[in-house]
Amino acid sequence: MGVVRTIDWQDHHIVAIDQTKLPGEVVFLDIFTVEDLVDAIRRLAIRGAPALGVAGALGAAMAVRDEPRNRDRDLAALRTARPTAVNLVWGVDHALATLPRGEDAVLGSALELLESDAARNHAIGDRGADWLAERLDGPVAVQTHCNAGALACVEWGTALGVVRSLHERRLLRHVYVDETRPLLQGARLTTWELAGMGVDHTLVVDSAGATVLARGLADAVVVGADRITANGDVVNKIGTYPLALAAARAGVPFLVAAPESTIDPALSAGADVEIEVRDGREVLGDLPETRTLNLAFDVTPADLVTAIVTEDRLVRPALGERPA
Ligand code: MRU
């Protein structure tokens, strides 16, 4: 069997792994309508910034193929399915830009994005691994947060692309995985991917992240991003910012691995980004009703970001370099 893609286009529809079912079951969703795609995105069956970019592009192709009278409604629903990862709107607009050439061009553009994802992630992973290998001696231990692996993309991954690249070069000693409350993308998804790769790893509760770094257990923090603003602020899963603070205190490099499509030149700073607030029941589980503030993402200020690696370049925001 070839590589399994997190999201794919088969027989005129989207096929995607239902990430809410992992790691217990590997279930594939067949998505034929924009309405069902929006539902899958909202409930995080499809998630992770690069995967959302591809979903947005394929969804745009579905929207222009369907009833013209529903087009604007469907595109608006798709664009707003989740607000924080810029890749979703970027993917929709990237594919739609070809509409003057016809519906087939929109699908062609979306498929090109789908097909090029793996190469992009390999380039990100290799650049990140090169940078870490240059700075650190011998096989390294890495700490990561949330899931920025193949499941967040089409294949390979961004932060976990760096991890994969280090592993292939025999330069990886260990990975510490934050569990990532409340939806446990680290505990459910990242550990599943690392186990599949045969990478030695340890799961810790989110609040142990700073202590892992203070004890010198990890040599670098490597995370993905949902949006990077022009000044180099990084918006990523809630809990990333405290990890960056702890990394700075411990003198450990904080590396962000993301495609160019995650950089939003239109927004000057992280404070301008809409942070998704999700249903409090995700936090409460079986607990009795209490007021919650379920912020899904946070902003890591540029001065805490040692480097950002994309498929094209390396930017060092902490040294004042700006990605846009
Ligand atoms: O809410 P999620 O699971 O979509 O959040 C995902 C993240 O925060 C990832 O770290 C980010 O999208 C980068 S994925 C390569």
Residue-wise DSSP of 87-108: HHHHHHHHHHTTGGG-HHHHHH
Token couple for 304: 């805490």
Average of pLDDT values for 296-305? 98
Give 218 or 1, the one with higher predicted confidence. 218
Same domain, 105 and 128: no
Last residue of one domain, picked from the residues 67, 92, 116: 116
Give the Cα separation of 240 and 146 in Å (integer). 9
* Ligand 1 touching residue 224 (CB < 6 A): yes
- 256 belongs to a structural domain: yes
CATH number at residue 129: 3.40.50.10470
Give per-residue pLDDT as tens, 41-66.
Answer: 999 999 999 999 999 999 999 999 98
The three-point CA angle 243-234-236 to 5° equals: 65
Quick one: which H or E segment has residue 50? helix 49-65
CATH number at residue 90: 1.20.120.420
- 324 belongs to a structural domain: no
* Ligand 1 touching residue 146 (CB < 6 A): yes
Same domain, 136 and 272: yes
Please, which pLDDT band fits residue 1 given cuts at 50, 70 and 90? very low
Token couple for 279: 């249903």
Token couple for 227: 């949006």
Same domain, 84 and 200: no
Cα 101 to ligand 1 centroid, rounded to whole Å: 33
Same domain, 131 and 251: yes
**Closest ligand 1 atom to 146 CA:** 10
Residue 167 has pLDDT above 80, yes or no: yes
Same domain, 145 and 179: yes
Between the CA of residue 209 and those of 8, 204, 220, 296, what are the distances in Å? 34, 7, 12, 18
- 1 belongs to a structural domain: no
Pairing of strands 172-178, 140-144: parallel
Burial of 268 (0-12, 13-18, 19+ CB in 10 A): middle
Same domain, 68 and 132: no
Give per-residue pLDDT as tens, 260-271.
Answer: 999 999 999 999
Cα 151 to ligand 1 centroid, rounded to whole Å: 10
| Number of compact structural domains in the chain | 2
Same domain, 106 and 131: no
Cα 225 to ligand 1 centroid, rounded to whole Å: 7
Place of tokens 């609040």: 207
226 is catalytic: yes
**pTM for the predicted model, two decimal places:** 0.97
Give per-residue pLDDT as tens, 206-264.
Answer: 999 999 999 999 999 999 999 999 999 999 999 999 999 999 999 999 999 999 999 99
Cα 85 to ligand 1 centroid, rounded to whole Å: 8
Q: Which of 206, 219, 226, 264 is catalytic?
A: 226
Q: Which domain holds residue 16?
A: 7-116
**Closest ligand 1 atom to 158 CA:** 15
- 192 belongs to a structural domain: yes
Residue 68 has pLDDT above 90, yes or no: no
Same domain, 155 and 281: yes
